[in-house]
Amino acid sequence: MKQSVNFSQFVDAFRAHDRFDQFGYDALRVLFDYFEQYENDTGEQIELDVIAICCEYTAQHCNDVAFDYGIDIADIDDEDEQNQKVIDYVSEHSVFVGKYDGGIVYATF
């Protein structure tokens, strides 16, 4: 038996597990929308498992992703172009979930 949750309940589940700060409000919105779209596209229901989500997905600022994965963005002056290079890299190597003000959400790789 699966129970549908709204965004508020989704956020509350992360707070109940002391995992809210791992993503923050904006990144959780990106994740929630991603999971809802996945369910709509596939017809498959997703079980809300906060710990599994925390292990499988990451929210980071693009500069931090670039540093962690050795993505050279130093020669790019425009921040939007830097971010796009990081998004392209993540999309090639993992699942890009979405962006929010301040960062991106992706499947950990």
* pTM across the whole model: 0.91
Whether residue 12 lies inside any domain: the answer is yes
Residue 3: predicted pLDDT: 77
Whether residue 56 lies inside any domain: the answer is yes
Residues of the chain below pLDDT 70: 1
Task: Assess contact for 2 and 47: CB atoms under 8 A.
Answer: yes
Residue 4: predicted pLDDT: 87
CA angle 23, 63, 86 (to 5 degrees): 90
Tens digit of each residue's pLDDT (9 = 90 or more) over 64-80: 999 999 999 999 999 99
Burial annotation 62-96 (CB, 10 A radius, 16+ → b, else e): beebbeeeebebeeeeeeeebbebbbebbeeeeeb
Q: What number of H helices and E strands is found in the chain?
A: 6, 3
Whether residue 2 lies inside any domain: the answer is no
Cα distance between residue 33 and residue 74, in whole Å: 32
Q: How many domains does the chain have?
A: 1
Cα distance between residue 90 and residue 18, in whole Å: 27
Whether residue 1 lies inside any domain: the answer is no
